[in-house]
Structure 1
């Protein structure tokens, strides 16, 4: 309101960045779990993901926002419905942490994973044997360890350093844990669904179906994830299920596993519609009708998926 800019004009680029993170970048739960299932190097997934994410966000964010404004101009005149997100809190400027420490805390897991990857690449390039230092680096670069370290740092920078009582910090942590419960259930449900399909022989059937096919495994993973995303709604469930169906094919190919993770993530983002909770959250928060939500959110997700696939295929020519 102070900038006199439409909330949707700011919201679409933000949603693009969040969606790309959801599909491409560890240590977000989706890409992290997919990388583990494929057996891909989490550091390479992060590095390749960042390279692909930057141009994808630019195209799907600022560029698409200008196009969307021409498609549904009335939606950019709405003020949104912030109350739909639940209870809101207001803070005075002096009560908030500094910009630099806030960015550092938020980026710390990415920094740790990237640092571990760089050191590992140097080690492999120079032929340095594994030692105590490299073992520590690998431990710190593990997604779970990086997140744990980042949480402890956040407790200090966002809480202790600001003289917030420990009870309030623990209450905040408890609330945060409760909020990620649904994400854990979704990941567990996705893993269970994947295993049901594998035990039912669907994975082997898909492998036989595409045996001798010239289709790139990267494109196949994207296609299967896209079909499941449209059918099931949940990007995480679609991605995890895709892994179970595609893994039997990988024995016939020397495809880059990090790119397989990214293509699966890209496919799982496509065409968010009425069976996806994100569709309704976006609709309610920005105060849009169904047509406007399809013309903004659904198109945005589809653009991210297709553009992301294009950059992944392009990168596959070089790595």
Structure 2
């Protein structure tokens, strides 16, 4: 089959997948697998080879990252149940001054907390960030919302154990330890530079307080206490999040999310004293940190040429994360009891199921793309050391994300298109993974659940969220591509 035919058919299939997801509202998993089948048949693989290749692709990526994703999500679910996430975010807001809070919170969310399911992490940290915003001055909401949007989205695709990051590593055959190290190298400057750029723009006219954020009622209540922070507009967007959150009279927490937004002053003090009596945050996070240290140590020693069976075993990501999960479970049983740990595990399995199936479906499409001869076609146009593959995968991921609205789908699909090229031209696959992740960040908009959660929970208008989330994460997308290209000069 001619090169132009393979390219045309592949492009048509990708467009078809996008239309199935966006226009026909067909589940992304079904759309990806259906697209893989059509591509295989249209490029001449035949019925048997097409189905076998699709199933093999699903199985291969599950072999690489299936247990890793499950361990990471379960660990995050247990940490969430212990209240560790809320306490950590609150501690950061206390320790760092107004100028440092957005950077400290952003780096912590983007790197250390990526085992937490994104929506859970956002719901736990957003109310605390909003509570701190007034201490940052006139543009506090804008700065905190931007920092959270950038760090949440970057962490998914650039930092282990972010679910899309692990999927990209498995798809492209990148050792997880290597992905973690180079992802860390890229994500840290990306978050810092992007937040700095956005803060510069916010102070120079980007943010309009009257139009970009919802009014906050801080007048005293009839009961004599300080009123809860809430939106005067109620549920103006029909998303179910607007209006004042109900306060639990038993523990003073809002919406069951552990936030102290809306507590009376004396109640805040009581809760803070209670937290001081709880077990240390280091104890709660120690098993997860140990797992990450084991993975990083193994990767560093491997690059240094140091090998030993014991080191190889304990630094293997599946073993290291299992150790972290077992340790987290033990600590949690000691601190909150076995019943709550079991509940967290059930919630974690519920969350990980959809992630695993979507990742596997992406692997099916990538495998069929590779078998169709796409690698041979694209390999003719790229040369070793060229930035063209990185720009191409970034652009494809960006376009897919604008159309589909899913960071994970766009990153996996774009990486799958160029995965066969890496080996042919001598390009390190980790660079393709990082470029695909960077591209998938571009233009987070109204199709994203994260967009609406940030809008409602941080008191922004839709116009404001388009600035803090859509523009902010797009800036991070471009910065991450630049950092990846710079890294490519040394690999």
Query: Which TM-score band applies after superposition, normalised by the shorter structure?
Result: 0.7 to 0.9
Q: What value does the CA root-mean-square deviation take over the aligned residues?
A: 2.9
State the alpha-carbon separation in 1 of the partners of residues 133 and 439 from structure 2.
36
Paired residues of 1:13 and 1:62 also in contact (CA < 8 A)? no
Q: Which digits, 9 at most, give the CA deviation of each residue in 1:168-205, with x for residues without a partner?
A: 22122222322333333432443345456567x4xx35
Q: Which digits, 9 at most, give the CA deviation of each residue in 1:70-91, with x for residues without a partner?
A: 3123136755769599632366
Paired residues of 1:25 and 1:31 also in contact (CA < 8 A)? yes
Q: Which digits, 9 at most, give the CA deviation of each residue in 1:73-126, with x for residues without a partner?
A: 31367557695996323663146431333443443332121111122223x1xx
> Within 5 A, what are the aligned runs for 1:73-112?
73-74=208-209, 75=212, 87-89=256-258, 92-94=274-276, 96-112=278-294
- Range moving further from structure 2, 26-35 or 281-290: 281-290
Residue 313 in 1 paired to residue 485 in 2? yes
Please point out which of 432, 435, 446 is paired with 1:260. 432
Residue 158 in 1 paired to residue 325 in 2? no
Q: How many residues align?
A: 306
State the alpha-carbon separation in 1 of the partners of residues 162 and 313 from structure 2.
18
Q: Structure 1 unaligned segments of length 5 or more: list them.
A: none
Partner of 2:295: 113
SS of the aligned residue for 2:134 comes to coil
Assess, with a 3 A threshold, how the Cα gap between structure 1 residues 111 and 251 changes in structure 2: closer, same or farther.
closer
> Within 5 A, what are the aligned runs for 1:191-202?
191-194=363-366, 201=372
State the alpha-carbon separation in 2 of the partners of residues 233 and 299 from structure 1.
15
SS of the aligned residue for 1:159 comes to helix
Paired residues of 1:140 and 1:146 also in contact (CA < 8 A)? yes
Assess, with a 3 A threshold, how the Cα gap between structure 1 residues 212 and 195 changes in structure 2: closer, same or farther.
closer
Please point out which of 18, 31, 36 is paired with 2:152. 18
State the alpha-carbon separation in 1 of the partners of residues 443 and 318 from structure 2.
30
> Within 5 A, what are the aligned runs for 1:1-319?
1=131, 4-5=134-135, 6-68=140-202, 70-74=205-209, 75=212, 87-89=256-258, 92-94=274-276, 96-122=278-304, 124=305, 130=307, 134-160=308-334, 162=335, 164-194=336-366, 201=372, 204-205=373-374, 208=377, 211-213=380-382, 216-319=388-491
Select the structure that is richer in helix: 1
Higher Rg of the two aligned structures: 2
Assess, with a 3 A threshold, how the Cα gap between structure 1 residues 48 and 270 changes in structure 2: closer, same or farther.
same
TM-score, length basis structure 2: 0.56
TM-score, length basis structure 1: 0.83
